[in-house]
Amino acid sequence: MNPQTIARVTGVLFLITFATSIPPFVYHYVPVLDDPRYIVGGGGADTRVLTGAFLELILIIANIGTTVVLWPVLKRVNEILALGYVTARVVECVFIAVGILSVLTVVTLRQEAAGADAGSLLTAGQSLVALKDWTFQLGPGFFVGVGNGLMLGYLMYTSRLVPRAMAVLGLIGGPLIIASGVGVLFGVIEAGGVVQLLATIPEFFWELFVLGIWLIVRGFNPSAVTRLQRELQ
């Protein structure tokens, strides 16, 4: 593929990750995550929750797509780091997949465990919701900083495929995501609190405006592409 085509396809895939990751978090999963008694409720918002699970399946495809599409270019910059980026993205997707399974299990128990002991169901539901919360904290809340932030930011910075001033967002956002994730893990900061929210801002702009919009509108820096191609000759 033409490198500029790779850039624009990558940008589209990153925009898809935003379109499929935010709605489940702010809308589709809310009945399960915010209502401990959802699992024993008579009439739940199952279709709403299942739609969120479907969106996250698309998210996984888009996440993997970003690594597959970028691989031919990134390996010319640094093959080891490029492989590390692919691996970090896959690990992130594994956490997302486990989170999907936990939510789907809540829906299945609500539908098929009628007549079961309510206390046992509530305990199971709370455990599954806790699992979902941790998959978010360790996947998008930690490994995103390792892969999309540090590794991809460094690859873009050293290659100059995007303006270096923009790539710095990834180099700043990555460590902030990692630090906030570790802080949540050890109970130093509140999960989903103001501190963690502020820590995600540079990474948010890095992924949305640089890896998404910028790559679609402007593509890769032509001189950087030419240099990479010349170094292989």
Place of tokens 């978010």: 136
Is 74 within 8 Å of 68 (Cβ atoms)? no
Residue 64 Cα distances to 14, 128, 202, 206, angstroms? 10, 25, 22, 18
Q: Which range is least confidently modeled, 5-14, 34-43, 104-113, 142-151?
A: 34-43
Spacing of C-alpha 171 from chain mean position = 17
State the residue range of the domain holding 108: 3-232
pLDDT 10s digits, 108-166: 999 887 667 888 999 999 999 999 999 999 999 999 999 999 999 999 999 999 999 99
* Residue 27 confidence (pLDDT): 96
Q: What is the DSSP string of 152-191?
A: HHHHHHHHTSS-HHHHHHHHHHHHHHHHHHHHHHTTSS-T
- 36-41 — which CB contacts under 8 Å span 24+ positions? 36/122, 36/125, 36/126, 36/129, 37/122, 38/106, 38/110, 38/125, 39/106, 39/109, 39/110, 39/121, 39/122, 39/124, 39/125, 40/110, 40/118, 40/121, 40/122, 40/125, 41/110
d(CA 114, CA 157): 56
d(CA 113, CA 122): 12
Mean pLDDT of 92-119: 91
* Residue 232 confidence (pLDDT): 63
Q: What is the CA radius of gyration of the chain?
A: 20
Place of tokens 């995550």: 33
pLDDT 10s digits, 206-231: 999 999 999 999 999 999 999 998 87
Q: Strand, coil or helix: what is 114?
A: coil
Is the pLDDT at 42 greater than 90, yes or no? no
Contacts of 78 (CB under 8 A, 6+ apart): 155, 158
Any alpha helices (H) in 78-163, and if so which ranges? 79-112, 118-138, 144, 152-159
* Residue 66 confidence (pLDDT): 97
Q: 210-219: b or e for each residue (b if 16 or more CB lie within 10 Å)?
A: bbbebbbebb
Instruction: Name the domain count of the chain.
Output: 1
* Residue 229 confidence (pLDDT): 85
Class of residue 182 by CB neighbours under 10 A (exposed 0-12, middle 13-18, buried 19+): middle
Is 73 within 8 Å of 5 (Cβ atoms)? no
Amino acid at the residue 52? G
